[in-house]
Amino acid sequence: MAYQVANKKLREWVQEVAEMTKPGQVYWCDGSKAEYDRLMDAMVATGAAIRLEKRPNSFAFFSDPSDVARVEDRTYISYPTQEEAGPTNNWVAVDDLKKTMRELYDGCMRGRTMYVIPFSMAALTSPMAKYGIEITDSPYVVCNMHIMTRVGVDVIKALGTDGEFIPCLHSVGAPLEPGQKDALWPCAPIEQKYISHFPDENLIWSYGSGYGGNALLGKKCLALRIASAMARREGWMAEHMLILRLTSPEGKRYHIAAAFPSACGKTNLAMIMPTIKGWKAETLGDDIAWMMIGKDGRLYATNPESGFFGVAPGTSHSSNPMAMDTINENSIFTNCAVTDDGDIWWEGIDAPAPEHLIDWKRRDWERGSKELAAHPNARFTAPARQCPIISPDWEKPEGVPIDIFIFGGRRASVVPLVTESFDWDHGVYMGATAGSETTAANIGAVGNLRRDPFAMTPFCGYNMADYFSHWFEMGDKLGKNAPRIFYVNWFRKSPEGKWLWPGFGENSRVLKWMCERLEGKVQGRETPIGILPADGELDLTGLEISEDYLNELMRVDLDAWRAELPGVESFFAKFGDRLPKRLSAQLEALRKRLA
């Protein structure tokens, strides 16, 4: 060990895990560049990683084809009773789940190094910071955690002799016998994969997968599933939200936090390049927001992560130039294709497919092949500090004050381009009923409406009815300081199936209207579903959009909205008596307005 660990509880836990998993050796990570380089060099030497000649200090990895995404059906929220986990989570009783997993963990690190990763979520000095210790047998995980969190000896120092930490245990579940050759991507079969959370103990156990959020336990496991339960107990918020600063030509700053389900343009909005003259955007976070009420009674948000773990396919200089500039160096690419001259490639990148590639299954791929070269969930891991429009305040310990919340989803019809809620309770209703029509990326029939409240369905670490209540409670505490709430739909189509709104940088026009609503510069028009832009209020300078398209984007079809109500009713019914009465009251109020 290169440093002293004064925290007795930590030393004992590491010893206990080592006795159970039986690794060949135990290594305490220090978070240094030398450590990162050493681990990467070793993975290049075994063939697990490919050094990308075209991108300084960047590497490509290919996962096992059975280990390519978050495994929702193998993700568990474990409480003493199923009621506490609620109807949207997979539940197994605490003792049963631990018994199963202890049997899997027994000797699971044999022949491997057990890495101990001390990490901080949020800047170490932030009042919102939480410290974690991830134990893993995957050097790939160590290197990704270096980028995604703040790893290092400073965390050990901050813990002192008795500081609290969140224990995160991970194993790829592939012990090695003496002389056995290691797989290039070791993992366990699907039926042995478990991503388990014990929120009452702030404890995470993951087994069998080496991929993404299943293995980088600071990400969704800690920052959302465990943190949401902690936030409820401690009176703050852990949300699946980007954080963005928008500055007007007059220099007025607005801070926006937005929640969208997958495939709804979250990363694009986080790194937006406004098309309206004089308006400027800065990125504060692309995925997760932790928010606390400050001394002035306002809600302050910080991004607890230090990196971006973004979906690669579809990312290009036309869709997200800032993301493309972020990944020029010091990045990890997983399940992307690799070019003969040592660069990466994926479907939807700016360049046409080369004649020949190595695809994500490590096979030769030739132009014209019917198979995708990159996996649809291929990822890049890149330091947030490299984003050209990262805000200078992105690591400000106290965070930034939130003015606006945005919810959204992917809807071809019914939902207008933008709607403001009448008040906080109505805004919570909007968030609770957020939904998207399924795309090819989701499981299920394409075009079905899937409710994803607050974009938190896979990430809420307790009964979602209680989570709705927590939003109402936070609104009560914030009172007049509560952020204003809006709902957007960039994806409305014409009856012929054409996109009505250009999206991307043009979404800044919608954000400008929201800011003007805050300033009282625009009045909006009241409809039964909320407040929409009145004629002429949306700044369309320099944008060619037909009046027909604009009318359709802003149309509120009362019959279509009435037809939505039974679906909302049956969704709410899932939560039984635990559903907040204030949410039922909002549904009834909407029903009356639509009548």
Q: What residues act catalytically?
A: 264
Residues 6+ apart with CB under 8 A from 275: 505, 506, 508, 509, 542, 543
**Amino acid symbol at 351:** A
Please return the burial class of 157, using the count of CB atoms within 10 Å of its CB with bins 0-12, 13-18 and 19+: middle
Element spanning 429, H or E: helix 424-432
Q: Given 3-state DSSP classes, what are the helix, strand and coil percentages for the chain, each rounded to the nearest 5?
A: 30, 20, 45
Within 10 Å of residue 144's Cβ, how many Cβ atoms? 24
Candidates 335, 530, 323; CA nearest to 422 is 530
CA distance 87 to 143: 36
Report residue 359 as tokens.
């695809």
Element spanning 302, H or E: strand 299-302
Residues 6+ apart with CB under 8 A from 332: 58, 59, 61, 143, 144, 147, 380, 381, 382
Backbone angles phi, psi at 182, to 5 degrees: -75, 150
Chain centre distance of CA 289: 9
**End-to-end Cα distance, the chain:** 70
Report residue 273 as tokens.
């390049």
Strand arrangement, sheet containing 356-358: 344-345, 337-339, 356-358, 364-366
Q: Cα dihedral angle (176, 181, 186, 187), rounded to 10 degrees?
A: -50
Q: Is residue 142 within 8 Å of residue 215, measured between CB atoms?
A: no
Q: Is residue 62 within 8 Å of residue 335, measured between CB atoms?
A: yes
